[in-house]
Amino acid sequence: MANGQGHGGTGGYGAPPPQNPYGPAPYGQNPYAAQNPYAQPVPPPQAYQPQQPYPAQQAHPAHPAPQPRPVPQPQPPHPAARFGAAPASAGGTGGFPGPAPRRNRLAVLLQFLLQWIYAPLWVLGLVLLFVVLILADYNGGGPSSDGWLKVNRGFIPPRRLRAELTGRPEHWERYVAPVLERRIAAAEASYAAGGGEVQPDLGRVVGVRLALRLYRGLGAAGVVRLAESRGWHGVASGTDAGHVRLARHFPAPATLNAPSPHDPPAAPGTPWGPQPVRPAPLLPFVFLLQIVYAPVYGLLTCWVKRPEPDYWDRHIRRILERDSNRTRPTTTRTPDGTLALRIHLKRATYRGAGAHQALRIAAAQGWTLDPAYAPDPTNSLRLTRPAAPTQP
């Protein structure tokens, strides 16, 4: 009997559950898509992404990408490189030897104790040797080196003794710094007095050389570092295992503040004019002092009794001729590659005539002021002219 719960007499109590006539539909598909001819395919669901109010910015990576290294531009050569003085690298003192091996402490102590005995005996022996050579009228040759005459080379001062015993670089630096300061001051004083080697660019170079015993625990690299702080540089071409060489290049004077040889004569008493001559009463004493080594010269001058007006002019010409015809003149290269002859006139050569008159006389023979030196008429005149070509 039907209970009225089914439809068409089916689905009554106890009847099996009705089957889905369309079959199971996979997830995400419409089961009625086959029935609806206007149905459109549904895209698969996507994760929710909130709308950004501003454009997204690219995050910076934790490690930035490596940038290409700039290509180093060629630098102009160091002024010292043109005349064989290769300086240290700009970033340090590479290329120079480091500290040398330490000496035996016992040997250092023995040398320090014994030097107070053998140093005075050494000096006394040298004095006796010279006396014997003078009395014996010795004319033979001696040793090629004068190192055996310098007793101070084997002497160890207390500050160096401490550096030798400890071997610490800071102790060596305390010892080397004053020594280097004195050597540099002496070299720069020699440049101010006209010393130094003239270079093709008309600048001058002065040098200093230190022995290994003075910087053993610091090394040549440490000495170069100290020198660079004072405006000097190391010369690799002149540095060996036993010495370190330092140099400094001074440029040529910017201007030559000097009168032209064709200007009117300078007034007496001015730097370029005639200077006061020696007092007449002093000349006999000068004569007595120089008669030991130059009697003929003292007799021919006759400054007091025969003061000829043109004496100074003739004297200047004689000195110029002597220096021009000497066997080995001082010649250097000029910036254009030619050879130049250089001479040095002392103040005593032109005292009574004046530096300007000496310049006028020298100009007649082709001499001009040397542009490698600043004019200093109160002390000396430095002249130059092109060297005569040598005969084949």
For residue 78, the tally of other CB atoms under 10 A from its CB is: 14
Task: Name the strands in the sheet holding 339-346, side by side, starting at the edge strand that comes first in the sequence.
Answer: 330-333, 339-346, 380-386, 368-369
176-217: pLDDT as tens digits: 999 999 999 899 988 888 889 888 888 999 999 999 999 999
In this structure, the answer to whether residues 182 and 238 fall within a common structural domain is yes
Q: Is residue 100 pLDDT above 80, yes or no?
A: yes
- Is residue 236 within 8 A of residue 95, CB to CB? The reply is yes
Q: How many domains does the chain have?
A: 2
- Across the range 153-168, mean pLDDT stands at 87
Contact partners, residue 375, CB within 8 Å, separation at least 6: 256, 257, 258, 369, 381
In this structure, the answer to whether residues 153 and 244 fall within a common structural domain is yes
| 190: in domain | yes
pLDDT higher at 327 or 377: 377
- What pLDDT score was predicted for residue 239? 81
In this structure, the answer to whether residues 308 and 186 fall within a common structural domain is no
Final residue of a domain: which of 250, 269, 303? 250
| 325: in domain | yes
In this structure, the answer to whether residues 234 and 307 fall within a common structural domain is no
> Helix 355-364 and helix 311-324: axis angle, to 10°?
50
pLDDT higher at 48 or 102: 102
pLDDT higher at 153 or 124: 124
For residue 109, the tally of other CB atoms under 10 A from its CB is: 14
In this structure, the answer to whether residues 217 and 86 fall within a common structural domain is yes
The winner for highest mean pLDDT among 213-222, 283-292, 317-326 is 213-222
In this structure, the answer to whether residues 128 and 236 fall within a common structural domain is yes
- Across the range 164-171, mean pLDDT stands at 91
Name the pLDDT band for 95 (thresholds 50, 70, 90): confident
Rounded to whole angstroms, the Cα distance separating 248 from 372 reads: 15
Q: Is residue 73 pLDDT above 80, yes or no?
A: no
- Is residue 184 within 8 A of residue 205, CB to CB? The reply is no
The winner for highest mean pLDDT among 49-58, 87-96, 212-221 is 212-221
Q: Is residue 42 pLDDT above 90, yes or no?
A: no
| 67: in domain | no
- What pLDDT score was predicted for residue 222? 92
- Across the range 27-53, mean pLDDT stands at 50
- What pLDDT score was predicted for residue 245? 94
In this structure, the answer to whether residues 170 and 90 fall within a common structural domain is yes
- What pLDDT score was predicted for residue 215? 92
- What pLDDT score was predicted for residue 234? 92
Instruction: Give the residue from 248, 238, 252 showing the smallest Cα distance to 340.
Output: 252
- Is residue 216 within 8 A of residue 176, CB to CB? The reply is no
- Across the range 31-58, mean pLDDT stands at 49
Q: What is the pTM of this model?
A: 0.52
Final residue of a domain: which of 198, 230, 250? 250
In this structure, the answer to whether residues 215 and 288 fall within a common structural domain is no
Rounded to whole angstroms, the Cα distance separating 362 from 349 reads: 12
The domain of 161 spans 80-135+147-250
| 339: in domain | yes
In this structure, the answer to whether residues 344 and 204 fall within a common structural domain is no
pLDDT higher at 64 or 86: 64
Rounded to whole angstroms, the Cα distance separating 293 from 302 reads: 17
| 305: in domain | yes
In this structure, the answer to whether residues 98 and 244 fall within a common structural domain is yes
Least confident stretch, 5-9, 103-107, 273-277, 336-340: 5-9
Name the pLDDT band for 3 (thresholds 50, 70, 90): very low
E strand or H helix at 247: strand 243-250
| 245: in domain | yes
Three-state secondary-structure class, residue 385: strand
275-313: pLDDT as tens digits: 887 788 888 887 777 676 555 554 455 444 444 557 788
- What pLDDT score was predicted for residue 232? 93
251-267: pLDDT as tens digits: 988 777 888 888 888 88
Q: Which long-range contacts (CB under 8 A, 24 or more apart) does 378-382 make?
A: 378/271, 378/275, 378/347, 379/347, 380/194, 380/344, 380/345, 380/346, 380/347, 381/344, 381/345, 381/350, 381/355, 382/194, 382/342, 382/343, 382/344, 382/345
Rounded to whole angstroms, the Cα distance separating 304 from 306 reads: 6
- What pLDDT score was predicted for residue 14? 53
- Across the range 81-110, mean pLDDT stands at 68
Task: Provide φ and ψ at 220, rounded to 5°.
Answer: -60, -35
Final residue of a domain: which of 232, 250, 268? 250
In this structure, the answer to whether residues 129 and 246 fall within a common structural domain is yes
Which letter does DSSP use for residue 83 in this model?
Answer: G
| 182: in domain | yes
In this structure, the answer to whether residues 235 and 357 fall within a common structural domain is no
By DSSP bridging, strand 243-250 and strand 330-333 are: unpaired
| 275: in domain | no
Task: Provide φ and ψ at 367, rounded to 5°.
Answer: -85, 145
- Is residue 304 within 8 A of residue 345, CB to CB? The reply is no
DSSP-assigned states of every residue in 98-124: -PPPPPPHHHHHHHHHHHHHHHHHHHH
- CA angle at 152 for the pair 147 and 158, rounded to the nearest 5°: 145
- Across the range 329-356, mean pLDDT stands at 81
HSE, CB side, 13 Å, CA atoms: give it for residue 310. Answer: 4
Mean pLDDT taken over the chain: 74
Instruction: Give the residue from 293, 220, 262, 283 showing the smallest Cα distance to 357.
Output: 262
